[in-house]
Amino acid sequence: MEFENILYEKNGHIAKLTLNRPPANSINLATLQDIEKALDDVEQDKEVRVLIITGAGEKGFSAGFDVSDAANGHITGPKGQEIWTRIDRFPKPVISAVNGYAFGGGCELAMASTFAVMQENAKIGLTELNLGIIPGWGGTQRMPRILGKSKALEMILFSKRISAREALDIGLVTRISKEGELMKDVMEMADFLAQRPPLAVKAVMNAVVAGMEKGLDEGTKAEWQGTQIVAASKDAIEGFTAFLEKRPPDFKGE
């Protein structure tokens, strides 16, 4: 599998996608197409249980939409929105390792991920209004859901660029890492998630998305469907057996 603008590797149950257009790792149409191909592979590969997304180099996670690709804006806009929404609804955990500034579409990518871990010296924000445009890859929807309406509008209308500490304090990112320790921390998270029962992880993520997007009734329906699936699984038998035998479980995703 060949890619023009990303690096993609798999190691056991963990896949890693690196945006590879340093220093800014800005995202054009070709990059979105690369990301889509990688997502297809992660989703189809039963061995892969967790995806990590990060940026090449030390300065930037991603500055978002590549303004030099504006000629493709009528395609890139809807495509970016579609792919970030796919990440938000992805059946396997996605961890954004925010290794540098994450502005515009980069911030939107971090918000769409299951978890965002941010290096302590990084900055994050939706800065589109500085260019006379608006967040177009889900930022106007995800940020209010995460932060509440007033704080999100302050972030967007003032084009605020906030520190990792402030991002953690307001709930925009999941955790922060010391400089030089980001990938170690993210790999620890990914390793732990990779040991979780895959069918149960998928069922939980599906139920949460259903409830968040469609309301309580649809969410509880999805929860019950997930409950029935996992109750009949070999992993459930393994979980109970391992508990009784006082050993770590070995989940196969079956």
Q: Do residue 132 and residue 231 come from a single domain?
A: no
Q: Do residue 126 and residue 209 come from a single domain?
A: no
Instruction: Tell me, rounded to whole angstroms, the distance of Cα 170 from its chain centroid.
Output: 18
DSSP reduced 3-state for 4: coil
Label the pairing between strands 60-62 and 50-55: unpaired
Least confident of 31-40, 45-54, 63-72, 140-149: 63-72
DSSP-assigned letters across all residues of 35-72: HHHHHHHHHH-TT--EEEEEESSSSEEE--B-GGGGGG
Q: Do residue 179 and residue 236 come from a single domain?
A: no
Q: Do residue 240 and residue 114 come from a single domain?
A: no
The active-site residue out of 9, 128, 213, 254 is: 128
Q: Over the stretch 127-168, which tens digit does the pLDDT of each residue have? A: 999 999 999 999 999 999 999 999 999 999 999 999 999 999
pLDDT band at 1 (very low <50, low <70, confident <90, very high): confident
For the question of residue 82 being annotated catalytic, the response is no
Q: Over the stretch 95-119, which tens digit does the pLDDT of each residue have? A: 999 999 999 999 999 999 999 999 9
With CA atoms as reference, report the closest residue to 233 among 208, 200, 202. Answer: 200
57's CB contacts (< 8 A; 6+ apart) are: 22, 23, 25, 100
What is the rounded CA–CA span in Å between residue 146 and residue 239? Answer: 33
Mean pLDDT of 44-53: 98
With CA atoms as reference, report the closest residue to 123 among 83, 167, 93. Answer: 167
Q: Domain residues for 56?
A: 6-194
What is the number of structural domains in the chain? Answer: 2
Q: Do residue 73 and residue 178 come from a single domain?
A: yes
Q: Do residue 237 and residue 186 come from a single domain?
A: no
The active-site residue out of 36, 43, 108, 188 is: 108
Structure tokens at 248: 């770590």
Q: Is residue 43 part of a domain?
A: yes
Q: Is residue 1 part of a domain?
A: no
Confidence at residue 72, expressed as pLDDT on a 0 to 100 scale:
85
Q: Do residue 48 and residue 151 come from a single domain?
A: yes
Q: Is residue 37 part of a domain?
A: yes
Confidence at residue 126, expressed as pLDDT on a 0 to 100 scale:
98
For the question of residue 120 being annotated catalytic, the response is no
Q: Has residue 243 got a pLDDT over 90? A: yes
- The model carries a pTM of 0.96
Q: Is residue 254 part of a domain?
A: no
Q: Over the stretch 205-231, which tens digit does the pLDDT of each residue have? A: 999 999 999 999 999 999 999 999 999
Confidence at residue 71, expressed as pLDDT on a 0 to 100 scale:
86
Tell me the C-alpha to C-alpha distance, in Å, between residue 109 and each of 24, 53, 88, 240, 242: 14, 9, 9, 37, 37
Q: Is residue 251 part of a domain?
A: no
Written as one letter, the residue type at 189 is: M
Confidence at residue 10, expressed as pLDDT on a 0 to 100 scale:
97
Q: Do residue 142 and residue 222 come from a single domain?
A: no
Confidence at residue 58, expressed as pLDDT on a 0 to 100 scale:
86
Q: Do residue 84 and residue 122 come from a single domain?
A: yes
Q: Do residue 92 and residue 160 come from a single domain?
A: yes
Q: Do residue 92 and residue 208 come from a single domain?
A: no
Q: Do residue 220 and residue 184 come from a single domain?
A: no
